[in-house]
């Protein structure tokens, strides 16, 4: 065909040759989508780690500020006081409560008996009691009452004296279980 007197070697109509294979570009699209997803996740994680790093730095600054405000002298004194309290606490746990001992003794005293003196020795777990009573039966009841108490281990009668007014004066030695009267005992 001639076009204006020139000869054209190219065909006038061009046809595009399409060979269409179903799904030919899908792997590229999927690969691109996965790559884009990985890049988005990577970017999000990078932002998150930088945010966490910033918060960590802020927390470290706060901790350092609090650390500079600490009163180390007061802390040392508080620790010393805590140690002293623990030592005193151990000592108190092993200390007799004499009021408990005397209350127990008062509850065991016979009505016809009067106590004149009570001397106690915590290390030996004993008491020396002097008192007066109207009769020998009252003295015997007093000894029996003391022996009936669970905290009393032994009672010994040292002496009994009679006076002209008919009053008997007696002296007892009471041995008690000192572990029963310790501070940590719960009633």
What pLDDT, on a 0 to 100 scale, did the predictor assign at position 16?
Answer: 64
Task: Give how far Cα 12 sits from Cα of 3, 6, 17, Å.
Answer: 10, 13, 15
* Tally of structural domains, the chain: 1
Containing domain of residue 108, as a range?
Answer: 98-181
Amino acid 187: pLDDT? 44
Give domain status of residue 142, yes or no. yes
pLDDT tens-digit profile of 13-64? 656 666 666 666 777 888 899 999 999 999 999 999 999 999 999 999 999 9
Q: Are 173 and 117 in contact (CB under 8 A)?
A: no
Question: Which residue would you say has higher pLDDT here, 1 or 23?
Answer: 23
Beta strands of 25-167 (E only): which ranges?
113-121, 126-133, 152-162
pLDDT digits (tens, 9 = 90+) for 93-151: 666 677 777 777 888 888 888 889 998 887 788 889 999 998 899 899 889 988 888 87
- Answer whether residue 23 is part of any domain: no
- Asked whether residue 71 is domain-assigned, the answer is no
Asked, for residue 44, whether it belongs to a domain, the answer is no
Residue 112 belongs to some domain of the structure: yes
CATH of the domain at 169: 3.30.1360.100
Q: Indicate if the pLDDT at residue 183 is higher than 60.
A: no
CA distance 143 to 110: 10
Please list the helix, strand and coil fractions of the chain in percent, rounded to the nearest 5, in that order.
50, 25, 25
Q: Is the pLDDT of residue 81 over 90?
A: yes
Each residue's pLDDT tens digit, 136-160: 998 998 899 888 888 788 899 999 9
In a domain, residue 148? The reply is yes
């Amino acid at each position: 065909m001639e076009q204006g007197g020139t000869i054209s070697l190219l065909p006038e109509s061009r046809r595009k040759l399409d060979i269409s294979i179903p799904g030919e570009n899908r792997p590229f699209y999927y690969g691109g989508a996965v790559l884009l997803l990985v890049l988005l996740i990577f970017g999000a994680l990078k932002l998150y780690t930088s945010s966490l790093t910033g918060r960590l730095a802020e927390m470290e600054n706060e901790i350092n500020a609090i650390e500079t405000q600490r009163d180390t002298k007061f802390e040392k004194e508080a620790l010393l006081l805590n140690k002293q309290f623990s030592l005193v606490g151990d000592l108190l746990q092993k200390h007799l409560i004499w009021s408990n001992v005397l209350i127990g003794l008062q509850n065991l005293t016979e009505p016809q008996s009067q106590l004149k003196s009570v001397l106690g020795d915590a290390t030996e777990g004993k008491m020396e009691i002097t008192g007066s009573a109207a009769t020998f039966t009252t003295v015997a009841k007093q000894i029996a009452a003391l022996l009936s108490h669970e905290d009393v281990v032994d009672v010994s009668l040292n002496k009994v004296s009679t006076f002209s007014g008919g009053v008997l004066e007696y002296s007892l030695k009471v041995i008690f279980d000192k572990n029963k009267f310790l501070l940590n005992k719960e009633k």
